[in-house]
């Protein structure tokens, strides 16, 4: 009976350690992926500043948009100020999801809109 309890205890410990290892690996991979995005990205006259606290600032020659960014389900998601009337409550943010791919040693970011399929190429500044 003691042998069986010891074996069950060892198996439980191994399962616990493997599970904890997988959780840490997944979390660390997520953090590494998040860190690739942080910084200033440029395409033409548009810049997109992504900070570690998930804030997003987009500047163009016509406007300056504040918002948030996130990574979810292998998508890059932005939620930016829609520049609507402050009393508008239906849609205070415009949310867009993109498929993303890094190239050129993570210095180039390809964002493909999940709705329209158009791809924009950003360069890290």
Architecture of domain 38-124: Beta Barrel (2.40)
Calpha distance 65→47 (Å, rounded):
10
Q: Where are the domains of the chain?
A: 38-124
Alpha helices in the chain (DSSP H): 2-37
The token pair that represents 15 in the structure block: 């399962």
The 10s digit of each residue's pLDDT in 101-114 is: 999 999 999 999 99
Place of tokens 């500044």: 125
Q: Is 53 exposed, middle or buried (0-12, 13-18, 19+ CB in 10 A)?
A: exposed
- Rg of the chain (C-alpha set): 21
The 10s digit of each residue's pLDDT in 45-90 is: 999 999 999 999 999 888 888 888 999 888 999 987 655 445 544 4
Residue 81 forms beta bridges with which residues? 93
Measure Cα distances from 25 to 8, 11, 70, 107 in Å: 26, 21, 20, 24
Would the pTM of this model clear 0.85, i.e. be above it? no
């Amino acid at each position: 009976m003691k042998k069986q309890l010891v074996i069950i205890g060892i198996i439980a410990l191994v399962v616990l350690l493997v599970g904890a290892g997988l959780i840490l690996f997944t979390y660390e991979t997520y953090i590494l992926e998040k860190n690739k995005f942080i910084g200033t990205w440029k395409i033409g006259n548009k810049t997109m500043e992504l900070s570690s606290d998930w804030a997003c600032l987009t500047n163009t020659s016509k406007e300056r948009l504040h918002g948030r960014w996130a990574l979810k389900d292998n998508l890059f998601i932005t939620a930016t100020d829609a520049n609507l009337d402050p009393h508008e409550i239906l849609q205070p943010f415009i949310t867009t999801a993109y498929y993303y791919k890094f190239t050129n040693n993570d210095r180039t970011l390809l964002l493909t809109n999940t709705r329209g399929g158009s791809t924009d190429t950003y360069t890290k500044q």
